[in-house]
Amino acid sequence: MGKNKNKTYNVFIVKICRERILLKNMRNILMIVIKMFQGILIGVGAVLPGISGGVLCVAFGIYKTVMELIANPFKNLKTHIISLAPYIIGGAIGFLGIANILSVFLEKYPAPSVCFFVGLIVGLLPSLIREAREKGDNRNSVFAAVISMEITFIILISLKILSIKLVPNFMWYIFCGACLGLSIIAPGMSFSTLLMPIGLYEPFIAGIGNIDLNVLIPGGIGSLITLVCLSKGINFLLQQYYSVTFHSIIGIVIAATIMIIPFSSFLNSFSSCVINNICILVGMVFSYMLDKFNQKFSV
């Protein structure tokens, strides 16, 4: 009888262990899927007008990790590539594939699409503030947030006022790539905002969508130079002045988010106002649930 009880007990323990392992594996798979989806949103955000992939990197809590990998790829490749791999895969899908589809959707329903992204970012602001305060904060941090917000407003408003059209060529596509890299390094600084006023956004995006090497090669060169040169500076600031730097980034994110809100569409009609508010609310709820899930099941 004792042997049978021990055998039953052992079978029970093995069964529980298997269930726990299965549950853990399911959670890990679900986290990978969610990270890939977040990566898709980052890739889409990098392409769509007014949206910044860098903002979404901050919003999804991977900005610091991305900067560390770009700044020191050989040193951090082994430790960072595993956690960033789902984002990279998703980002490639969003940037090269789904972005083309959503660009059409954005063209047909521009205001609701942008409002969803606005809600997505707003819903994640509490997590950004929490992360910014991870190493404490002070008056300098708040001051840095206000100053960065004001500077971002000035830059983005100035770009809207200016209207200069350029003829695209190899050198200008390098510039386009540099702006794309800048939109990752400087959250909120959408490269579409930089390129649209000078007439380079549409040919650059068309070249990417058509896998045109005449666009991809110079664009890649410009992006790589910008990322390598500026990421080391950002990484240094995050290491030495974490709170001030992160609060500055939050200021940029807030200003850039306000600037992309399609205020005029809210006044077009009652229905458009309702739809826009629903899209913002959906984005906020979605990002809030995403943040709660990340906190509970982060791996």
Q: What's 216-258 look like in SS3?
A: HHHHHHHHHHHHHHHHHHHHHHHHHCHHHHHHHHHHHHHHHHH
Amino acid letter for position 61: G
Residue with tokens 């994110």: 253
Amino acid letter for position 80: H
Residue 275's pLDDT band, with cuts at 50, 70 and 90, is very high
Tell me the C-alpha to C-alpha distance, in Å, between residue 130 and each of 59, 124, 127, 281.
Answer: 11, 10, 5, 21
User: CA–CA separation, 66 vs 61, rounded Å?
Assistant: 10
What is the signed CA dihedral for 70, 96, 208, 166, rounded to 10 degrees?
-80
Residue 299's pLDDT band, with cuts at 50, 70 and 90, is very low
Q: b/e for 237-273, b at 16 or more Cβ within 10 A?
A: bbeebbbbbbbbbbbbbbbbbebbbbeebbeeeeebe
pLDDT at 2: 53
How remote is the C-alpha of 86 from its chain's centroid? 13
**How many CB atoms are closer than 10 A to CB 203?**
18
**CB burial class (10 A; 0-12, 13-18, 19+) of residue 281?**
middle
For residue 298, the number of C-alpha atoms closer than 13 Å in the C-beta half-sphere is 9
Q: What is the pLDDT of residues 57-71, one digit of tens each?
A: 877 888 888 888 887
pLDDT at 123: 82
Asked which of 77-86, 172-181, 219-228, 283-292 is least confident by mean pLDDT, the reply is 283-292
Give the DSSP per-residue string, 129-182. Answer: HHHHTTT---HHHHHHHHHHHHHHHHHHHHHHH--------HHHHHHHHHHHHH
Predicted TM-score of the model (pTM):
0.63
Amino acid letter for position 246: F
Residue 111's pLDDT band, with cuts at 50, 70 and 90, is confident
pLDDT at 202: 75
Mean pLDDT of 282-297: 73
Tokens of 151: 């500077």
**How many CB atoms are closer than 10 A to CB 224?**
14
How remote is the C-alpha of 179 from its chain's centroid? 15
Residue with tokens 């002070």: 138
- Angle, alpha carbons 164-170-171 (nearest 5°): 60
pLDDT at 236: 82
User: CA–CA separation, 257 vs 125, rounded Å?
Assistant: 11
